[in-house]
Amino acid sequence: MASSLTKDAAQQGNPAGGKTFFGHPRGLATLFLTEMWERFSFYGMRALLVVYLIAGGPDAKDGSQGGGLGMPEGNAVAIYSVYLAMVYLLALPGGWIGDRVWGPRKTVAVSAGIIMAGHLCLALPGQVSFFVGLALVALGSGLLKANISTMVGHLYDGPQDPRRDGGFTIFYMGINLGAFAAPLLIGTVGQTVNWHLGFALAAVGMGLGLIQFLVGSRHLSEKSSVVPTPLSREERISTLRKGLIWLGVAAVFYGAVGLSGNFTLNWALVPITLIGLIIPTAVLVRIKRDKDLSSVEQTKMTGYIWFFVAAAVFWMIYDQGGSTLSAFAETKAGDSLLGMTFPSSWFQSLNPLFVMALAPLFAWMWLWLARRNREPNTIVKFATALFLIGVSFFVFVIPMAMSADGSKPNPMWLVSIYLIQTIGELCLSPVGLSVTTKMAPMKYASQMMGVWFLAVTAGDCATGLLSLAGVDLSGTGMIGLEAALAVLAGFAVYMYRKKVQQLMGDVH
């Protein structure tokens, strides 16, 4: 979407004054474009990840390009799930660094450089460079995610600014421009020309995003450069000491395992998935029990836990769009439509395409309903999202059953699944970002965005743990069970909506 800057009267909360971006502060355009390029690099690599991991292996599609890592589908799904979980898990320390060390603006600039370096490592052949690249992309994405969303919140005049939800929706729609283009460009080059050239294109995209951010940062709120609660000298020394101790313990442990000749990939994946389930629980408990929070803030945190659990269930299913669904598209679904043959990575462009088409409609619809006092509250939107994500997997059971005899189901089955999931996503994700900034205790401003992303970590780690345990996530029974779980969770959220609303206080 082209930047639309229009002359208008200076609005409250617009640090730039004068010009606006679709009626919003001009700094939203800078963050919109930065995240667009970051998503271009991220989703391009994401579109290639599972098909690259299985390429050349027992579960690869006949006649597909070789040169991948040749892994079984179950291992590929586990690696994908753990990697994605780590991206969102690292958003928590990313928020902490923004709050206490560098401030959000500097943290985003540094993280973009780390992401670019990660994609350059992925562009090199070899397993070692591949996993180093994954680690760097996960680290950089974690640093960036919480802070760039926090900077969107800085553009508005507090939680009650009526433009706030619309701003997050526009931001969410804008980043999907990059996500839409990435599979078509990076995916096509990677799948049909050379895997590593595709990963190199992702590095170029992140480089463009970094340049754009540095040039446009003058339009951001001054609060984005402030370190809200800087570390004291003693705290810096203590934090560094603890980090080095844990790094040393991990190095000694894994060094011993490696020297014994017993190291396998599961030695890394299983602990990470368990950590990804334990940390979100521990973080929520720690914040909830913080005596520095007022009684109102603690009550809101109790209400927030409902949204967190609902989001974890949602993302557990939704993120399989890049793993279980992606593997199905590559190996079992038809690859032609209206006489045109296309690589399976193109399916990953469906979700962002639908977001761009539907997000403006949803933003208008919420505003239209709000003017008539009929807009569903945040709780109802979450319940609707859970119901829809469950329905999408009930639909998935149909093409899975059709492929059991070796036939290739029509690609439109996958199109319909991604459409249903996108509608659910628009009911949950931008609304979840907004409600997090509204309910966040002042002490945990940036860190609460990291807590929101921990819901993704929990959901993806649940998927990863199931894969590592040998559960066949591509079986119709398991898909149906996940679908039923989501629908029941949505029903539970809806039934307790009045109780949750009381816990939310003045947030709606």
Is there a domain that residue 6 lies in? no
93 or 490, greater pLDDT = 490
- Max Cα-Cα span within the chain: 70
Residue 160: φ, ψ to 5°: -90, 0
Q: Are 64 and 54 in contact (CB under 8 A)?
A: no
With pLDDT > 70 as the criterion, what percentage of the chain qualifies? 92
Whether pLDDT at 11 is above 50: no
Task: With beta carbons less than 8 A apart as the criterion, state whether 116 and 206 touch.
Answer: yes
Does 22 score more than 70 pLDDT? Answer: no
Q: What is the pLDDT of residue 6?
A: 36
Question: CA 253, CA 31: separation in Å to the nearest integer?
Answer: 41
pLDDT value at residue 37? 87
pLDDT tens digits along 275-334? 989 998 898 888 888 888 888 888 888 889 999 999 999 999 999 999 999 999 998 888
Specify if 282 maps to a domain: yes
pLDDT at 18: 53
Number of domains in the chain: 1
**What CATH code is carried by the domain that includes residue 242?**
1.20.1250.20
CB-count exposure of residue 47 (10 Å: 0-12, 13-18, 19+): buried
Any domain includes 4: no
Q: What is the model's pTM?
A: 0.84
Give the per-residue pLDDT at 508. 63
The predicted-structure confidence for 174-232, as pLDDT tens digits, reads as follows 777 889 999 999 999 999 889 999 999 999 989 988 988 888 887 787 777 888 888 88
Residue 421 lies in a domain: yes
Q: Decide if 14 is inside a domain.
A: no
* N-terminal to C-terminal alpha carbon distance within the chain: 30
Q: Give the length of the chain.
A: 508
For residue 317, is it within any domain?
Answer: yes
Give residue 353's domain range. Answer: 23-221+231-504
Statement: residue 468 has pLDDT above 60: yes
Task: Output the six-digit token pair for 486.
Answer: 């989501």
Q: Does a structural domain hold residue 467?
A: yes
Residue reference for tokens 């934090």: 239
Neighbouring C-beta atoms of residue 214, cutoff 10 Å:
15
H helices present in 101-126, as ranges = 104-122
For 354-414, give the DSSP string.
Answer: HHHHHHHHHHHHHHHHHHTT----HHHHHHHHHHHHHHHHHHHHHHHHHGGGT----THHH
CA 16 to CA 13: how far, in whole Å? 9
What 3-state class would DSSP assign to 212?
helix
**pLDDT over threshold 90, residue 498:** no
Nearest-10 Cα torsion for 361, 362, 364, 370: 160
Distance CA 307, CA 348 (A): 27
454 within 8 A of 61, measured Cβ to Cβ? no
Kindly state whether residue 13 falls inside one of the protein's structural domains.
Answer: no
Instruction: Count CA atoms closer than 13 A to 343's CA, side-chain side.
Output: 23
Reported as a single tens digit per residue, the pLDDT across 347-366 is: 999 998 998 888 888 878 88
